[in-house]
Amino acid sequence: PAVQKLIAIGEKWKQKTIRGFPKQEGQGKGSKYILCQFPYPSGMLHIGHLRVYVISDSLNRFYKQKGYDVIHPMGWDAFGLPAENAAIERGINPAIWTRENISKMKQQMESMLANFDWDREIATCDPEYYKFTQWIFLKLFENGLAYRKEAEINWDPVDKTVLANEQVDAQGRSWRSGAIVEKKKLKQWFLGITKFAPKLRKHLTQLKDWPSNVKQMQRNWIGESLGTELIFKVTDSRFEDLVVFTTRPETLFAVQYVALALDHPVVQKYCETIPDLKEFLSKSDALPDDTKEGFHLPNINAVNPLTKEEIPIFVAPYVISGYGSAPSAVMGCPGHDSRDFEFWKQNCPGQHIKTCVTPFFDDTSKLSEKEKQELIETVPFTSTNGVLTKESGEYSGVFTGVARKSIIGKLHTENLSRNIVRYKIRDWLISRQRYWGTPIPIIHCDSCGPVPVPESDLPVRLPDIKELNTKGNPLSTIEEFVNINCPSCGSPAKRETDTMDTFIDSSWYYFRYLDPNNTSKPFDCDTASKHMPVDIYIGGVEHAILHLLYSRFIAKFLGSINAWNDPTGVFEPFKKLVTQGMVQGKTYINPDTGRFLMSDELESINDSSEGNSVIIRANGKVPIVSYEKMSKSKHNGADPNECISKHGPDATRAHILFQSPVADALNWDESKIVGIERWLQKVLVLTKNILSLKENLAISKEYKTPTDLNDAEVKFHNDVQRYLKSITESFEIHISLNTVISDYMKLTSVLEAAMRKGEVRNEMMVQNLQKLISSIYPVVPSVSEEAAEMISSQMEWNHYQWPAVEHTTESQFKKFQIVVNGRVKFMYTADKNFFKLGRDAVIETLMKLPEGRMYLMNKKIEKFVMKYNVISFLFHK
Ligand code: ANZ
Ligand code: ZN
């Protein structure tokens, strides 16, 4: 019944809470842009969504109560494969499927009482939106940042489309379908993100409010290395010099070969004359990335620029191509690099390994002689710190760092070296051979080449299709779509039929929210500049690289074409980033078979020692229990709708925040929600009880905490302030929402205890009850409204205002120790300014007390001292 009440309260206040409350007048704190990552409209809100939206909605309501103009929008990342696949399965248009899902998910967001600015709602599949995705593409094209080239690409054989590098995991699998990605050569569209690599890298240091692990992931992905290009001349004059990239020029004395990437021009040239090489190349495509296969190029050697020694040249798939500006080549140093070491062992087995760097031990080294010797004998010795050996000519005995600089300098004067910064990141491949995405606004003309669609012809609409029945790109089969005249010369031409990666749609949506109805521009410059960057961005850590890197790139690009202004000049889109941890489900495994068990295969038993435990129904055994990422196959999913309908929206919201810190993984355990339900009931009962206090109930709006507090009131007042301060800071500074909930509970208990003991005056009880009810509003809005309704029926107050944290006070009273001849004889509680009465008045007052008469009467005072809380008498014996 108590739980029923919470559900009913949720229902009663649903409309009011999702609409939110009117702007708090006269506070003028400015605006706050609080954004959570928008969902893909799959049709089902899952528990991970619920977690992000509870976090962002709580912050939204908190800042509104504080008097900010909060922007808290919601929309739909609506293009993408699942819609297309679902449409193929069901034989309907993906647009219809998507729309239906959007309306279902909107309802689910409403049942969790999420308060979003629905007047800013966008869906990336709306022509009004993708018109401007296309506009951005055209601007990129205009600036040389969108181009088409033949490239070896990642092909997902299941979804039959190309993937960006960022969308292939370390095991070579598609991030979406999980299929092993194949390599193919195709003409594709790319965006020039590498041009922004230096800024994307550098500005990471300015993102003070981003989690460091996300910044580290981006740093690794961008992969800046400060290195040197060295020139190796070759002994065959038909070829140009080889340029190798190295971060370790001081290892030149131990270089034993040069290795070329498969697509190096020298390799391509040799290929024409050596059939074996051709065969090597064709089979190399299938080799894993860490392969140490090699092909020795005959009749040609490279010349070490420092020692002038001639060394062999290999073709080696482990040299990554297209990485950096020059064609890829490395100098192979088996003695100091593990990859080179493996390569050498495989291709030149048994041959000598050169070294030129040896460890250096200073006096403070803690290593034993044995350990030192072991380190000296380690091959390869890969540390960048050490000294050069006697094999290193004039550099022998010199520290690696010093030798590096000096070798670079020497070779530089001979035009054989130059310092460069190189980035690992590649340009962003955005072509997708699918229907449900933003059409690329380009027309291919035989005489003019790729011609941009004129801005006035945007959007290039996706042709309406009744049904999609094959995978692959249906646009190329629609004649009316494909055939068009060239906007430049008028002759018959063909439209581009690739659509864009959906990550482009989501790379600028936060701008569109600020000006969602603009029909002439993606967004107004002044409006965007006023509200950007987003103050708090909340989302999953799985987007650490993909979405967040793309968004940073596009925001910077839009800044570079003056689409928005940023006085700091960095054009970073997200000021503070909150990455919420994954929600994991309780998983039961049969210990014998390793099979995941469904809930109806399990049975609860009451084991008195351990509380509730679970056994497998079929065999009575105890299953293995763990928490894992929720998935259908593990039968460990939790349904947010079910939780809301069983426990009400507020308990669900508070429970999800209480279970773990926002950044940590959350092990979903619904049984623990009872603690939250009890707390919410306590709040309602407490409200009722305080309101039933008879006297002095109706406090005026101007009621201030009185100054004549007794000890109990002082403690009560100070406890309340302490928790309020902690709650405020948890929202404002730490975003520590689990502590907010525990502070709510403690605050409630403070009021409850005071109520029970009756030591605090009624007005103060009511005043601080109001503070409690206002402060819980961000997380549990319907219970807060319910309690506020009860209070407001008796007095006027604004529960939407965040309660001010008052100063803590000291007691008006103090306990004094009365000391006679060095011993404490009794205590006396008096106004803390009791001393100020002066010696005679103090003594007179004390003499009136029974204890005073007993210890102080008829004695001759030798000495009298008042200090701190001690009143000391020395009597003559
Ligand atoms: C000689 C050397 C000696 C190297 C040594 C390392 C250790 P980071 O810092 O990760 O960028 N390298 C250069 N280009 C490469 C390519 N296209 N494919 C594969 N490897 C390549 O690594 C820079 C080092 O990676 C470079 O320094 C080069 O090997 C290798 F004891 O040059 B080094
Ligand atoms: Zn033309």
| Amino acid identity for residue 458 in this structure | L
Q: Residue 654: which residues within 8 A CB-CB, separation 6 or more?
A: 676, 679, 680, 741, 744, 779, 780
Measure 132 CA to ligand 2 centroid, in angstroms: 24
DSSP secondary structure of 40-90? P--S---HHHHHHHHHHHHHHHHHHHTT-EEE---EE---SHHHHHHHHHH
Q: Report pLDDT digits (tens) over 570-595.
A: 999 999 999 999 899 899 999 998 89
Which ligand is in closest contact with the Cα of 337? 1
| Cβ atoms within 10 Å, residue 611 | 8
Measure 97 CA to ligand 2 centroid, in angstroms: 38
Pocket test for ligand 1, best of 220, 257, 337 (most atoms within 8 A of CB): 337
Angle at 484 between CA 481 and CA 485, to 5 degrees: 170
User: b/e string for 197-220 if b means 16 or more Cβ within 10 A?
Assistant: bebbbebbeebeebbeebbebbee
Measure 244 CA to ligand 1 centroid, in angstroms: 9
Pocket test for ligand 1, best of 247, 290, 358, 388 (most atoms within 8 A of CB): 247
Burial of 169 (0-12, 13-18, 19+ CB in 10 A): exposed
The closest-lying atom of ligand 1 relative to the alpha carbon of residue 357 is 31
Query: Residue 697 has what pLDDT?
Result: 64
CA distances from 26 to 69, 216, 806 (A): 11, 43, 20
Which ligand is in closest contact with the Cα of 386? 1
Q: Report pLDDT digits (tens) over 354-384.
A: 999 999 998 888 889 999 999 999 999 999 9
Measure 214 CA to ligand 1 centroid, in angstroms: 25
Which ligand is in closest contact with the Cα of 354? 1
Burial of 872 (0-12, 13-18, 19+ CB in 10 A): middle
Atom 32 of ligand 1, nearest CA residue? 246
CA–CA separation, 408 and 412 (whole Å): 6
Domains of the chain by start residue, with CATH: 2-124+506-560 (3.40.50.620), 133-192+427-503 (no CATH), 224-423 (3.90.740.10), 584-650 (2.20.28), 673-792 (1.10.730.10), 813-875 (3.10.20.590)
Q: How far apart are the first and last CA of the chain?
A: 74
CA–CA separation, 768 and 764 (whole Å): 6
What is the sign of the dihedral through the CA atoms of 699, 701, 704 and 705? positive
Q: Which residues of the chain have pLDDT under 50?
A: none
CA–CA separation, 409 and 420 (whole Å): 14
Measure 340 CA to ligand 1 centroid, in angstroms: 9
Q: Report pLDDT digits (tens) over 734-761.
A: 999 999 999 999 999 999 999 999 999 9
Pocket test for ligand 1, best of 262, 330, 343, 344 (most atoms within 8 A of CB): 330
CA–CA separation, 249 and 226 (whole Å): 12
Atom 8 of ligand 1, nearest CA residue? 225
Give this complex's ipTM.
0.91
CA–CA separation, 728 and 730 (whole Å): 5
Measure 685 CA to ligand 1 centroid, in angstroms: 69
Measure 217 CA to ligand 2 centroid, in angstroms: 44
- pTM of the model as a whole: 0.84
* Ligand 1 proximal residues by C-beta, below 6 Å: 225, 245-248, 251, 319-320, 323, 328, 330-331, 333, 336-337
The torsion angles phi and psi of 261, rounded to 5 degrees, stand at -70, 160
Residue with the two structure tokens 């999420």: 114
Q: Which residues surround ligand 2, an ion (CB under 5 A)?
A: 445, 447-448, 486, 488-489
| Cβ atoms within 10 Å, residue 845 | 14
The closest-lying atom of ligand 1 relative to the alpha carbon of residue 424 is 11
Pocket test for ligand 1, best of 219, 248, 384, 404 (most atoms within 8 A of CB): 248
Query: Residue 609 has what pLDDT?
Result: 52
Which ligand is in closest contact with the Cα of 381? 1
CA–CA separation, 98 and 118 (whole Å): 18
Measure 330 CA to ligand 1 centroid, in angstroms: 6
Query: Residue 166 has what pLDDT?
Result: 76
DSSP secondary structure of 216-254? HHHHHHHTEEEEEEEEEEES-TTSPPEEEEES-GGGGGG
CA–CA separation, 436 and 125 (whole Å): 8
Which ligand is in closest contact with the Cα of 383? 1
